[in-house]
Amino acid sequence: MMDILEAIMTRRSVRAYTQEPVTDEEVETLLRAAMQAPSAVNEQPWEFVVVRDREMLDRIPAFSPHAAMAKQAPLGILVCADTRHLPMEVFWQQDCAAATENLLLAAHALGLGAVWTGVYPLEDRVEGFARLCRLPGGVVPFGFVVVGRPAHTMAPADRFIPGRVHENSW
């Protein structure tokens, strides 16, 4: 297993997968990592829908075009927020983003490939995933992570831009 800095520096969005399945144990590890994310006031608003059904995965690009790779992937994980009982409903997007990043890093550390596709706040995608996954009212789909075994490896990208760092003031 790689260390955290190696995982952060070498993680890439993977959009091509082999047909080899992702195991139940690997999925549980991904979800455990996601649920370890920090959250405002420890609300932990996240809920996850694991989508393995081939017909469901094939329908996703119709309403979420940037998730076209779902048609070749063995699974996807819909990250949602249950907003029905949140005392501070203003931070759930940040909480779900942290959970999603943990999931992506865990996938990379396990040798899996994954890509985060945006859902919220685009209404057509929110409605499409809500219908597809039969989400109850008040449960908002935030992002869809497509997961599989990478069809090829990608070189790390150095994204550090010193000019974007400001000390003490702009």
34 within a domain of the structure (yes/no): no
CATH number of the domain that residue 62 is part of:
3.40.109.10
Residue 87 in domain: yes
Confidence of residue 162 (pLDDT cuts 50, 70, 90): very high
**Predicted local confidence at residue 88, as pLDDT:** 83
* Per-residue pLDDT at 1 exceeds 80: no
Q: What is the mean pLDDT of residues 42-50?
A: 98
Q: Is residue 130 part of a domain?
A: yes
For residue 27, tell me if it sits in a domain.
no
Whether 111 is covered by a domain: the verdict is yes
Q: Is the per-residue pLDDT at 55 higher than 90?
A: yes
Write down the pLDDT at residue 131. 98
- Give the total number of structural domains in the chain: 1
- pLDDT tens digits, 117-142: 999 999 999 999 999 999 999 999 99
| % of residues, the chain, pLDDT over 90 | 96
Enclosing domain of residue 73: 47-150
pLDDT value, residue 87 = 86
In a domain, 7, yes or no: no
Mean pLDDT of the chain: 97
pLDDT in tens, 59-106: 999 999 999 999 999 999 999 999 999 988 899 999 999 999 999 999
Q: Is residue 168 exposed (0-12), middle (13-18) or buried (19+ Cβ within 10 Å)?
A: exposed
Side by side, the strands of the sheet bearing 46-51 are 46-51, 75-82, 139-148, 113-118
Q: Does residue 108 belong to any structural domain of this protein?
A: yes
12: left (phi over 0), alpha (psi -120 to 50) or beta: beta
Confidence of residue 21 (pLDDT cuts 50, 70, 90): very high
Provide the pLDDT for residue 95.
98
Domain-located, residue 137: yes
pLDDT tier at 2, thresholds 50, 70, 90: confident
Q: Quick check: bond before 156 cis, omega within 30?
A: no
51's tokens: 């989508």
